[in-house]
Amino acid sequence: MEHNISQALITNPVLIFFTVLVILLLAPLIFKKIKVPHIVGLILAGVVVGPYGFHVLDRDASFQIFGQVGLLYLMFLAGLEIDLYNMRKNMGKGVVFGLYTTFIPLVLGMLMSVWLLGVDWITAVLLASMYTSHTLIAYPIVSRFGLSKSPVVLITIVGTIIAILGALLALAVTVDVQRLGAFSIKGVAVLLIKLLVYCALVSYVYPRVTRWFFRTFSDQVTQYVFVLAMVFFSSWLAQVIGLEPVLGAFLAGLVMNRYVPASSPLMSRIEFVGNAIFIPYFLIGVGMMINVSAISNWDTLWVSLNMIVVALLVKWLAAWATQKTYKMSVVERDMMFGLSAAHTAVALAVVMIGYELTLPDGSHLINESIMNGVVLMILVTCAVSPIVTSRASAKLKVEMISSGEVDEDEDIHNTRSLRTLIPVSNPITAAQLVNVALMMKRRPNNESLIALHVRNDNSQGSRAIGQTALKLATEPTKAVNLRMQTIERYDLNTVMGIVNTVKERNITDVVVGIHARSTVMDSFYGSKIDELLTKLNKMVLITRCYIPINTVTRIIVAVPAKAEFETGFELWIIRLTNMAEKIGCRLIYYASSDTIPYIKGVVHKNSFRIRPEYNQMNDWGDLMMLTNVVLDDDLFVMVSARRTSISFSSELEETPNLLSKYFNHSNLLIVYPEQFGATPNLASFNDPIAVDLDVPSSEIVLGVRTWWRFMKNRWRTVKRRVREMLGY
């Protein structure tokens, strides 16, 4: 390619950054007026101001660095925003699409290159590997439409990774044949072994390091820097072993997915910085590489047209084949095609490798005409991809709304408006309580969070503590663009302030923290919570977490018998399942055989994206067995009941003492479901533990089951202690 050797109009670093910011500001506004995706606008802006346009800016080291960072950031976000549950459900379809979008470009790309361009078979394989790979530059459009967890998007992402791997293998084969003169299966085998070892290493080490870091350091800025460091280390490690850095970035996002919930402040910071700086820098840098003036003769134009047609045709055929295989809609086919149509970084890497390889006569494996054709192909595909994706996203969104399907930003539990009250008194624990409440929210636009501080004196110190606690409570919600109401009220005492606020604001549930015991005679809950449970019939969730809520590995729930008859039965299941879904952890229920079907019914009815586990616990006395099940990184949820509740039993009175004695070092969440007091019919029910439950009639079978469960729990305890001794 010809290079413009004249000096750029702007060389001052400050003016360079100012010019880029002006482009980031104006390009989306201008192209929105003409209904062109802003991604295309940023690429075209790069063409105009770049070395092959008006040469306002040079594609210097800053654009190369920020451009590479932007590409890695793009793939990292794709891995981070993936719905792992739906990804597992659609993994088979994603693999099939990946095979289609790998082998169709490889086969047709080779044939078309030989027949139409007249190149040899080695060059044809190299060009075919370029057609195989693609870049998800249109992914931000999908995110803005709220479709990042749509099955068709997940299918495309899985296919993208397979296509990139296929392109790398084809590239490795081509280089081996060119340099060694023959195909070497050893080189391909070594690359596959490196890939497997690399994926296993990152998948094992990264979750453990991330969990430890998030528990140790709670500062949001420190966590953000740590996440980026892990991403770029994974990308560099992939590059060292001969893989593309984008694979490392995607894998890092995938394994850290569950530690960065979608509604967390950390996720908001990651998305904001990426969409505001790094990804636009990458798009402008792509535009600056495009030399439109290189098309100066018929040969170059013919090569360019052939490459553009082939590049778009093979990706459309792959999407069409997947559509026909799984009887998908036309809109879903267009979405797969739009997301997979763009060719950028990998295509450039492939063509540059081919340009550096020389033939025996001294000529390059890829000539100047093909180089210029690749540049124009990048321009056209990067323009087609966002346009097709934008139109498909709009249609898919309309179809989802029309059919009753919704994404994470819409409400599917619209039975009533939910309002959560979070009483805060201690500035140290205020943010933690709000984070727990955020994890239990399903839809930010339909549910309200209200922070409350109650004081019973007008002293300046009391006012200062209250204002500080409320200010700190709002920090997590500000980071996720959620407005939370704050109330500071004067009342007779804290309990009356909470009760009066619940009545005035129509509160549905209250999230409070367990107090610190100050004396030996002090109860586990404290006198305030005991009084609150007596005077309030709404759902109360009492929490104590020693670790950040997003680092919880499992949520283990103990449910008393007849819990399904409580008024608030469905609501607490929704809250806990919301939390498990956002954290991405396992949700394990221990309940009676009569209650489990009702829990399954609520989960199925609300279409949660999790796979919970169910274990029978037909006697509340078996609760002691859970002491060997609950680990330090689990959240143990105890569903209790008030005295006037149907599911209340005499054994539930011992719950606070049991928690204090055997679960004193565990992360706890005690749930008191909503109930409207005793009614004549419900109050006449017998004690739940006296109900004849479905248990084995044989004492031998029962003994074997109990022994097996005990040994299994003991083994888990031994493994936990070994991990602690080894420092894991």
Residues in Cβ contact with 700 at an 8 Å cutoff, skipping those fewer than 6 apart: none
| Res. 38: pLDDT tops 90 | no
Between 39 and 564, whose confidence is greater? 564
| Chain centroid offset of residue 370 CA | 39
| Res. 680: pLDDT tops 60 | no
Between 199 and 168, whose confidence is greater? 199
**Residue range 561-586: mean pLDDT, rounded:** 88
| Res. 230: pLDDT tops 90 | yes
CA dihedral (370, 376, 380, 382) positive or negative: positive
Is residue 256 within 8 A of residue 227, CB to CB? The reply is: yes
- Output the pLDDT for position 362: 62
| Res. 705: pLDDT tops 70 | no
Residues β-bridged to residue 488: 453
| Res. 79: pLDDT tops 90 | no
What is the average pLDDT score of the chain? Answer: 79
| Res. 408: pLDDT tops 50 | no
- Kindly state the helix (H) or strand (E) to which residue 153 belongs, with its residue range: helix 151-180
CA distance 331 to 665: 52
**Residue range 237-266: mean pLDDT, rounded:** 82
- How wide is the angle at C-alpha 381 spanned by C-alphas 370 and 67, nearest 5°? 90
Is residue 322 within 8 A of residue 336, CB to CB? The reply is: yes
The residue count for the chain: 728
- Output the pLDDT for position 183: 61
| Res. 411: pLDDT tops 80 | no
Tokens of 566: 């409580």
Pairing of strands 447-455, 418-423: parallel
Which range scores top for mean pLDDT: 170-184, 247-261, 344-358?
A: 247-261
**Residue range 691-718: mean pLDDT, rounded:** 48
| Res. 174: pLDDT tops 90 | no
| Res. 339: pLDDT tops 70 | yes
DSSP 198-211: HHHHHHHHHHHHHH
**Residue range 546-564: mean pLDDT, rounded:** 89
Measuring CA to CA, which residue among 681, 470, 659, 641 is closest to residue 560?
641
**Residue range 546-567: mean pLDDT, rounded:** 89
The model carries a pTM of 0.67
Q: Is the backbone of residue 727 left (phi > 0), alpha (psi -120 to 50) or beta? A: left
Per cent of the chain over pLDDT 70 is 81
Backbone φ, ψ for residue 409 (5° rounding)? -95, 5
Pure H helices in 523-568? 527-535
CA distance 491 to 418: 25
Indicate the SS3 state at residue 276. Answer: helix
DSSP 226-280: HHHHHHHHHHHHHHHTTS-HHHHHHHHHHHTGGGS-TTSHHHHHHHHHIIIIIHH
Instruction: Identify how many contiguous H helices and E strands the chain contains and give both numbers.
Output: 26, 10
Amino acid 115 reads: W
**Residue range 535-546: mean pLDDT, rounded:** 90
Between 514 and 410, whose confidence is greater? 514
| Res. 314: pLDDT tops 50 | yes
Between 10 and 671, whose confidence is greater? 671
Pairing of strands 539-544, 667-672: antiparallel
Per cent of the chain over pLDDT 90 is 13
Residue 410 binned pLDDT confidence (cut-offs 50, 70, 90): very low
**Residue range 627-638: mean pLDDT, rounded:** 88
- Residue 136 is given by DSSP the state -
Q: By mean pLDDT, which of 161-175, 210-224, 250-264, 675-689 is the weakest?
A: 675-689
Q: Reduce the secondary structure of 357-404 to three states and give it as a string.
A: CECCCCCECCCHHHHHHHHHHHHHHHHHHHHHHHHHHHHHHHHHHHHC
Is residue 8 within 8 A of residue 56, CB to CB? The reply is: yes
Tokens of 462: 């009391």
**Residue range 705-710: mean pLDDT, rounded:** 53
Residues β-bridged to residue 623: none
**Residue range 18-28: mean pLDDT, rounded:** 87
Q: By mean pLDDT, which of 99-108, 325-334, 713-722 is the weakest?
A: 713-722
- Output the pLDDT for position 526: 67
| Chain centroid offset of residue 67 CA | 23
